[in-house]
Every structure is written in structure tokens, then in C-alpha cells.
Amino acid sequence: MGVDVARRSGARRLTFVNVKAAGGAEPYRPSRREAREEPAFAELARWLDTQPPPDSTTIDFRVESGVPSIEICRAAEERGADLLILGRKPRSQANRLMVGDTADAVARRSLVPSLHVPPRVEGVNSMLVALDGSERGLVVFRTAANLAAAIGATIRAVTVEAALADEPAELVAGLPTARSARLLDRLRGMLSAEQPTAVPLLEARRGDVVEQVLVAVAETAADLLVVGCHRGGPPGVVEAGSVARRLEHLAPCTLLTVPL
């Protein structure tokens, strides 16, 4: 995924990072050449020799020592990275009740957007952005729109409104709230001047936010779900956390978390 994004966006640098547990007083910091020969990078380095990114993209290997989530974010800040890319592990129903793994810790700590990639995913061609109708949500959408433009992906948006118990189903389907109407106008205003043909389709849904966003992912066959994520906070039970953290564990596709 990292190579694919770098190739499609014309990235200047692509850095691969591996973090080892600190085992001594002095951290292990090999040179660039030594890092490339590390066992963690051996197969990757051979593959890159046959599938290299463009010549304009510099490839770098980096080995750090310490806590993975801390060192990954530190490396991104030191390198001025625009995007972090990590793997997402498959989880059982029981494991989804708890968070605190490296991907979740990076999402809560990182200053830059983090792309969380599940196994056997080849690329991103269609994006779905989950918006809450607030000003900070527009920051999430602009980040997603910039990535979509860079890699040539399509983009759509969904917002979930609170459902009232006495609303007729036919009224809910036909009349979005004033909040959703304003949100659509804002999205049009953000994109129409720069990309007049890229004005997204905003869908308004009613009900539980996580449930409806996941339904929208399935119905649109999105390769990538984009959500805003609050920084900070301890690991804990998913149900006690944010919408973003629940989606991080439940979304079937690649997930992009944008720090708020």
C-alpha cells in the first residue's frame, strides 16, 4: 500500500520503519545500509528491487528501539511525513472488545493522518468520508479530498443524523435535516472552485452512527473509510471509546484516521 500510494501521488520519500524492543542502555540505531539488511526488511528490499517506485521517490529504511507507537510517531515527525501507513490485524469478536494495540495507539498519538490497512488489500480507488456536520468534520473531508486528488480516487461522504422515535419512515427518507443541507453546501463550496467535477455525493442517514457508517461502506463498496479521531486518551473498552475507535476495530476496509 505504501508503494502504491507513493507511486500514484508522486511522493518525494517513502520510509519503512521497524521498531525493536529496547534491550539495553543505548538504543539500537543502525545505519541506513545496515537497516536495509535487517531481517525485518530483507524480503521487502528484494521485492522493491523488482517493483521500485518512481526515481523521484527516495526509499529509506529505519530501525528504532522503544515503544512502537511512540517511535513510529516520532519517526513521522522527524521526517516531516504527510501520512503514516500501518497494518490492521484481523480480530475475533472477543478481541474487538478491547483496544490498546499499536495501530490504535498510533491513531491516538499521531499528528498526521494514519492509514490502517487490513490483510490482502491491494489499493484504494473509492473513498467514503464519515462526517459529523461540525467544522472539524470539514477538516477531515479536506484531508480526504487532498488524498483522493493525489492518488486519483473517487470520494463520497456520509453523515448520520439522530433518529426520532415518532418520525414516519417516508419523511426520514425524503427530507434531510437543515444540518445535512448546510453540510452539503459547505462541501460544494470547498471543492467547486478547484475541482468543479469532483463535488461529492453526500448521503444523510438516520440511526446509530457506527452501524449506519458500516452499512454505507458495504453499500458503496468503499475501499477506504475516512474518520476524524481525537488524540490522546488511554486504551480501554471500545464501547466506552469514540466512534472512530469503534470503527477502527469493525470496519472491513482500509481506514484513514485524521487527527482532530
Q: How far apart are CA 160 and CA 175, in angstroms?
A: 13
The pLDDT, as a whole number, for residue 31 is: 67
**Residue spans per domain, the chain:** 1-66, 126-259
The pLDDT, as a whole number, for residue 54 is: 80
Pairing of strands 126-131, 84-87: unpaired
pTM of the predicted model, to two decimals? 0.83
Below-70 pLDDT ranges, the chain: 23-33, 90-100, 163-179, 188-200, 233-241
- Between CA 175 and CA 221, with CA 144 as vertex, the angle to 5 degrees is 65
Domain formed by 126-259, architecture: 3-Layer(aba) Sandwich (3.40)
The pLDDT, as a whole number, for residue 204 is: 78
pLDDT in tens, 128-154: 999 887 777 788 988 998 999 899 999
pLDDT in tens, 55-92: 888 888 888 888 888 999 999 999 999 999 998 876 55
Ranges of H-type helices in 161-205:
169-174, 178-192
Handedness of CA 243, 245, 216, 196 (dihedral sign): positive
| Beta-bridge partners for 237 | 98
Q: Are the CB atoms for 167 and 140 separated by under 8 Å? A: no
